[in-house]
Amino acid sequence: MAAALGSALWLQQRGESDATVVDCDLLVGPCEFTTNAGVAWLELGPRPISSASPFQVNVSYPGDAPSNIWIDLQGKEMYMGINQVTLERTDESQSKHWKAEANLGICTTGIMRWVLNLILEQKDGQEVYRFEFDAR
Amino acid sequence: MRNLLLYTFLGLAVAAGAYVSFELFGPKAPLPKYAQAGIGGDFKLTSVEGEINLSDYKGEIVLIYFGFMSCPDVCPTSMGVMGTAIRQLDDAQQQKVRGLFISVDPQRDTPAELHAYTQYFSDRIFGATGTKEQIDAIVKQYGAYYSFVEMEDSALGYTVDHSARIYLIDPNGQLADILAHDINPVELHEKLAAYL
């Protein structure tokens, strides 16, 4: 978990305006979204997401394996620090499923709205998909 | 004789040129990724011993945590993890590791109280705080977060939302890793041991 938080920090600039907004509630279940390669899925769990507890990030991607998949977590209403995590293939022989353990890393008293940007890095550029969810 | 002086001068000039060229354009040791991104760096705060700088601890591993003493669970958990991991090192190694609990609540947490609080978890964990301006600057430097939250129904009056992370500073003073507050102490011990 800690390794995911720390070593996976990519600290790259993310194109906010290039993000495709996915209107789906990650706290209800997996979210389907359409990438350049076809339909992909993102799932967070266990749900609900706690601000100070680790959670799993799972992605199913239909196309050829991207060179890198990572997420960038930000507070929607206020800056909450830097939090970026790289996903790893669940099985080297199957490039369709990726996962990571993430942690919002915040001790908070209330419910906070978070933005999760999923970045798929390809040889010819990157695709960014934007989700939102609440965490207590 | 004149030729000897000339050749000596030319030789020194070439050597000096090569040195300057290497320093300017030669290979450099890569900086840690956080430093490359401008995250981390030196700061100044106040502890029970007076003014401290992160650079005072060069040669030591420093584990930084942003919290406050009235924090009911996450902060004590983090300090407990830190203390347990440090105690797993031998005595000599422990002297090269320092926990630093930075209180973002200087209104309530004095340096003396912070010292007593942190020493409860380990004699290698120390407390520090500063002015709001100093704390804001450090929080920004490290990509962390804190915010005061009013609590009308509580005797405390307010609480503080804050980052729950452990920032590992390597012996060169560079931010090397950002760890979860509830990292397994064994895993934290392994990370510390890697620098010792």
**Separation between Cα atoms, residue B180 and residue A109, nearest integer Å:** 18
* pLDDT < 50: residue spans in chain A: 1-8, 10, 13-15
Instruction: Kindly state the tokens that stand for B3.
Output: 């030729």
Could you tell me which residues of chain A have a Cβ less than 8 Å from any Cβ in chain B? 1-3, 5-7, 9, 11, 52-54, 75, 78-82, 103, 105-110
CATH of the domain at A42: 2.60.40.10
pLDDT tens profile B36-86? 778 899 999 999 999 999 999 999 999 999 999 999 889 999 999 999 999
Q: What is the DSSP letter of B129?
A: B
Q: Which domain holds residue A93?
A: 2-135
The minimum CA-CA distance between A46 and chain B, rounded to whole Å, is: 17
Could you give the number of structural domains in chain A?
A: 1
**Separation between Cα atoms, residue B172 and residue B157, nearest integer Å:** 40
The CATH number of B33-193 is: 3.40.30.10
ipTM: 0.75
Is A11 in Cβ contact with B74 (below 8 Å)? no
Is B183 in Cβ contact with A109 (below 8 Å)? no
Closest chain B residue to A11 measured between Cα atoms?
Answer: B37
* pLDDT at res. B12: 56
Q: Tell me how far the alpha carbon of residue B194 is from its chain's centroid.
A: 16
Question: Strand pairing of B146-150 and B158-163?
Answer: antiparallel
CB B109 within 8 A of CB B127: yes
What are the boundaries of each domain within chain B?
Answer: 1-28, 33-193
Enter the pTM of the model. 0.81
pLDDT tens profile A6-40? 434 545 544 455 899 999 999 999 999 999 889 99
CB B170 within 8 A of CB B176: yes
* pLDDT at res. B1: 55
